[in-house]
Amino acid sequence: MTVGRVAGKVALVTGAARGIGRAQAVRFAEEGADIVAVDVCAPIDTVIIPPATRADLAETERLIAAAGGRVCTFVADVRDADALQEAVAGGVERFGGLDIVCATAGITSAGPALDLSDEVWQTMLDVNLTGVWQTCKAAAPHLIARGSGSIILTSSIAGLRGLTGVAHYVAAKHGVVGLMRSMAKEFAAHNVRVNSVHPTNVDTPMIQNDLVRRAFRPDLAQPTRADFAAAASTMNMLPIPWVDPVDIANATLFLASDEARYITAVTLPVDAGSTQR
């Protein structure tokens, strides 16, 4: 009988309603973990693309059950420390502890650096950086109590290089790397590992929308998926426009598993060579 790579573990995933977070939650469940799935399931000011919904989170729950996994879901905003604490406590009570943290919830918006409003700037940092810290603040004590664990922060290629038109996003994602490196040092004595993953474009609603497509193809009034793909392919070394959510989930699974038991403080690109192009 094959034993899952994270069998008997409990994994917290934020941003679990769709995209990378859903892929992580399902993939971890397939490999034997119990899942604590968290998402805001609501609009966020400054974000134009349609938000995840409670129906999306319910679909994640269904997919986990179909994979034979156990899950408890919570609707919470990663900016809300009390809501996160309550979600984590609920998951720990349900499953008896916590071993893995995937801090994946994030947003996107765009604009030239000097044109960003204070609100757009602050909301980006609040969700994509402070929200990651709040997630770790709520969850890490449970890993430390266990005496082991793995925390994986979802950054971006924008956490390793500059990109045009998203200075606030780049700043937040670079901040995630600094947070990861500091926590890796602080938590090492407790045998808790902390790493970050850095995707190129991922085929999720965060990029598959008119806002991002027009940013890549300003020459077209209504660029199609194919138009977008042609432009996005120029970012990567490998001849692909984007990766799939499961590619990030697989990398995260590796970092969470015992296969990576001595890997910590690492920035792992899953980027088709984009950062080296």
CA gap 241, 237 in Å, rounded: 10
Secondary structure of 30-69 in HEC code, one letter for each residue: HCCCEEEEEECCCCCCCCCCCCCCHHHHHHHHHHHHHCCC
49 in Cβ contact with 107 (< 8 Å) = no
CA gap 219, 78 in Å, rounded: 37
Q: List CB contacts of 259: < 8 A, sequence separation 6 or more.
A: 5
Please tell me the total number of residues recorded for the chain in this structure.
Answer: 277
Name the DSSP class of 201.
Answer: S
CA gap 148, 150 in Å, rounded: 7
CA gap 151, 160 in Å, rounded: 19
Distance from the first to the final alpha carbon of the chain: 43
Single out the catalytic residue among 28, 74, 95, 169.
169
Q: Is 262 a catalytic site residue?
A: no
8: region left, alpha or beta (phi > 0 left; psi from -120 to 50 alpha): left
45 in Cβ contact with 92 (< 8 Å) = no
Residue 73 backbone dihedrals phi, psi, to 5 degrees: -115, 150
Which residues does the annotation mark as catalytic?
A: 169
